[in-house]
Amino acid sequence: MQETGSTRSSDRKRLDLLVQGRMRSRTLYVEVVDVSEGGCKIKGRHGFAEEGEKVSLRIDGVRTPLGKIVWVDGEFTGIAFEGTMHPAIVDHLYHERLKRKPASGKSKAA
């Protein structure tokens, strides 16, 4: 059900960030799984969105272009932006996520 790599115009960057957005004139909180210049994949509660709905997101203080839900698969949803995000902004969001993510495989200090 998810789109194939051949239809994607730009690479997606993994984010895994909880963000605030708006849909149906109400606030919602979803996890942005990944983002690209042309869209993103989000995760929310099962049934929270339907194909064709409009959504706006704010990722780390950056407003994405208005998006349209293009596919829904359980709690995952694909969004196609009506405009595009500049590649430098996508890279910035990705690198900010890397700065905050704890290093894997390292134990916590006692």
Residue pLDDT, tens place only, 89-101: 999 999 999 988 7
Q: Does residue 13 form part of some domain?
A: no
CATH number of 61's domain: 2.40.30
Given this model, what pLDDT does residue 85 score? 96
Please say whether the beta carbons of 57 and 64 come within 8 A. yes
Q: Does residue 108 form part of some domain?
A: no
Q: Does residue 65 form part of some domain?
A: yes
pTM flag (> 0.75): yes
Residue pLDDT, tens place only, 15-46: 999 999 999 899 999 999 999 999 999 999 98
Residue 68 lies in domain = 23-97
3-class secondary structure, 90: helix
Q: Does residue 87 form part of some domain?
A: yes
Please say whether the beta carbons of 82 and 66 come within 8 A. yes
Given this model, what pLDDT does residue 88 score? 95
